[in-house]
Amino acid sequence: MCGEVMKLSGSEILIRTLIEQNVDVVFGYPGGQVINIYDTLYQHQDEIKHILTAHEQGAAHAADGYARSTGKVGVVIATSGPGATNLVTGIATAYLDSVPLVAITGNVSLPLIGRDSFQEVDITGITMPVTKHNYFVNKGEVLADTVREAFKLAMSGRPGPVLIDIPKDIQTSLYDYEPQPAVTADEKTAGDGDDISAAVELINNAKKPYIYCGGGVISGDASEEAVELAEKIDAVLGCSFMGLSAVSTDNPRFLGMQGMHGHYASSMAQHNADLIIAIGARFSDRATGNKAKYAPKAKIIHIDIDNAEIDKNISVDCGICGDVKLTLQKIIDSVDAKNNPEWIEKVSAFSAQEKEQLKLTSDMTPYNLIDVINKTVDADTVIATDVGQHQMWAAQYCKFSKPRKFVSSGGLGTMGFGLGAAIGAQIGSGKKSVLITGDGSFGMCLNELATAASYNVPVVIVIFNNGVLGMVRQWQTLFFDKHYSNTVLDRKTDFVKLAEAFGIKGYRCTEMAEFEKTMKSAFEDNGPVLIECFIDKDEMVLPMLPPGGSMDDIIVERLGD
């Protein structure tokens, strides 16, 4: 592969190095300090497709959605100053959810750096705490290797975003370039043998095991192993928000999402378990509730690729740092096969109780809307969401049978993430995507309708319009004496006309039958479609663990008015 050395401009080296990494799509927005990079993109348009979004934040979310749905590194390009700062929310979103991203920004020429020049910001300083690593390229000679290293870092170990800031004079000057093969992630290794033996012993002694799948089960490609372990040791499985889609929702052992808005059965199972096996998870406060009261009867095993996660949020009985897939394989090979009929029976009782709590009606309720969405989509469809109640309903009720089919901002909870991410996920996966959004969140980044229209991206946008910032309002209802401070939207926005103004088909549904029909035809459409559905503003996301509460403080029913 390594051919002769060429003298090329920095921007040519950048694009060629991206092509080296098999990048075929980038998302971005041009500007003065990346104009040379865009000129090079123009010359390489047959090799790299550039998706022009409406806003750099949308581009970052699109690259993120692309990465989440494919497992590949997403790439986003922005100009200096405001272009770069517009990426920040997107980069932070990717950071908190461990998504591999390479963000490329232009900057002013080296002699102008540090002088508050026009459109100069210290983007490496700004993004330091929200990137895995970042680079300010002050020598063109290292540009190609910097890009290679950035890709390697983004995808190795625990994935994450990496930013490369390239001053304009480096883009235009000539440097040596020698083609190289694409970089690969660092070699994966299983955890330490002694730690694995300790885990095996804990597992062999357990009678009530619960497997807690985090996002690392998806990024570590360990879905099959997690289920296999559950089957061998007769355990039940739950997941954090980020772990959704790791395990098929149809698997009878799978209790669903755990935590603040998790399923009753998974919360109760953790509370009663004698062993928690956490895989690729970080014991976020949203997933565990009050840590002091978390799983009081259980020993805890924690397997994670990131050593710093072990004992970070919760101190565990057995911490194993290693690739989750390889580690699980070793554990599966060594543990005793088991039957825990009493435990399974007990958990089934929790599940039965949970079903009773669900009071179904035929109205336009969140549950019914999602039920229709479940029945319309297929196994390959990516479900993206924004942030709020609609997101939690999606997390509770959407059906998944393959990993990487749920794309949502868990760690940062970024309203406005959904549309860009749904577009990126569609472009990455080549399959349909459905966005479940709220009237508040959608308002934050609806400009990306322009992108969906321009590239005719087949994404079905379903707005759960409750006229309110429902999630915040729910807290106000429960904990702030119904002081609805600034959470009632009741905007005058006509979402159907809005869609039409962007060149997209828009529909409004007020009845379930209508929604069923519209959803079906929208899903068959080969372009973007927006559907607005009205739901009651007082709908709540239940169950809910009150903040500071333990798993058995769970609120399951709407409190009396």
Of 351 and 389, CB closest to ligand TPP: 389
Give which of Mg ion, other proteins, ligand TPP, none residue 258 binds (C-beta under 5 to 8 Å, depending on kind). Answer: none
The verdict on 178 binding other proteins (CB under 8 A) reads no
Of 88 and 522, CB closest to ligand TPP: 88
Is it true that the peptide bond before 403 is cis, omega within 30 degrees of 0? no
Q: How far is the CB of 124 from other proteins (least distance, A)?
A: 6
End-to-end CA distance of the chain: 71
Q: Which of 228, 227, 195 is nearest to 301 (CA)?
A: 195
Q: How far is the CB of 136 from other proteins (least distance, A)?
A: 6
Q: Other C-beta atoms within 10 Å of 316: how many?
A: 19
Catalytic-residue membership of 56: yes
The verdict on 415 binding ligand TPP (CB under 6 A) reads yes
Of 149 and 228, CB closest to other proteins: 149
Q: What part of residues 458-497 is at the interface with Mg ion (CB under 5 A)?
A: 466, 470
Q: How far is the CB of 439 from Mg ion (least distance, A)?
A: 4
Part of the chain binding other proteins (CB under 8 A), chosen from 135-143, 272-280, 346-354, 527-535: 135-143
The verdict on 311 binding other proteins (CB under 8 A) reads yes
Give which of ligand TPP, Mg ion, other proteins, none residue 472 binds (C-beta under 5 to 8 Å, depending on kind). Answer: ligand TPP
Q: How far is the CB of 151 from other proteins (least distance, A)?
A: 13
Of the listed 12, 56, 120, 354, which one is catalytic? 56
The verdict on 344 binding ligand TPP (CB under 6 A) reads no
196 CB contacts (<8 Å, ≥6 apart)?
190, 320, 327, 330, 331, 334
Of the listed 155, 392, 471, 551, which one is catalytic? 471
The single residue among 39, 71, 119, 133 that binds other proteins, judged by CB under 8 A, is 133
Q: What's the length of the chain?
A: 561
As a whole number of angstroms, the distance between CA 6 and CA 534 comes to: 60
The verdict on 188 binding other proteins (CB under 8 A) reads no
201 CB contacts (<8 Å, ≥6 apart)?
none
Of 303 and 392, CB closest to ligand TPP: 392
Give which of other proteins, Mg ion, ligand TPP, none residue 353 binds (C-beta under 5 to 8 Å, depending on kind). Answer: none
299 CB contacts (<8 Å, ≥6 apart)?
202, 206, 274, 275, 276, 317, 318
Of the listed 6, 119, 152, 231, which one is catalytic? 119
Q: What does the block give as tokens for 89?
A: 């929310």
Q: What part of residues 472-491 is at the interface with ligand TPP (CB under 6 A)?
A: 472
Report the run of H or E that residue 276 belongs to, with start and end.
Answer: strand 275-279
DSSP assigned state of 250:
T
Q: Other C-beta atoms within 10 Å of 510: how many?
A: 10
Q: How far is the CB of 409 from ligand TPP (least distance, A)?
A: 8
Catalytic-residue membership of 471: yes
The single residue among 171, 414, 476, 550 that binds ligand TPP, judged by CB under 6 A, is 414
The single residue among 471, 522, 529, 531 that binds ligand TPP, judged by CB under 6 A, is 471
The single residue among 458, 470, 506, 528 that binds ligand TPP, judged by CB under 6 A, is 470
- Backbone φ and ψ for 208, nearest 5 degrees, come out as -130, 65
How many Å is the maximal CA-CA distance in the chain?
76
Q: What part of residues 374-403 is at the interface with ligand TPP (CB under 6 A)?
A: 386-390
CA distances from 77 to 55, 163, 408, 415 (A): 11, 10, 22, 22
Report the run of H or E that residue 386 belongs to, with start and end.
Answer: none
The single residue among 7, 114, 128, 480 that binds other proteins, judged by CB under 8 A, is 128
Identity of residue 425: A
The single residue among 251, 284, 307, 447 that binds other proteins, judged by CB under 8 A, is 307
The single residue among 308, 352, 501, 513 that binds other proteins, judged by CB under 8 A, is 308
Catalytic-residue membership of 497: no
Of the listed 118, 297, 342, 353, which one is catalytic? 118
Which ranges of 398-438 does DSSP label H, i.e. alpha helix?
417-429
Of 204 and 315, CB closest to other proteins: 315
As a whole number of angstroms, the distance between CA 138 and CA 340 comes to: 61
Which residue matches tokens 């998974």? 266
Which ranges of 158-213 does DSSP label H, i.e. alpha helix?
168-172, 193-205
As a whole number of angstroms, the distance between CA 421 and CA 385 comes to: 8
The verdict on 439 binding ligand TPP (CB under 6 A) reads yes
Under 8 Å between Cβ of 556 and 264? yes
Q: Which of 56, 54, 72, 21 is nearest to 428 (CA)?
A: 72
Q: Which residues bind Mg ion (CB under 5 A)?
A: 438-440, 466, 470
Would you name the residues annotated as active-site residues? 56, 118-119, 168, 471
Q: Which residues bind other proteins (CB under 8 A)?
A: 124-125, 128-129, 132-133, 135-136, 138, 153, 306-308, 310-312, 315
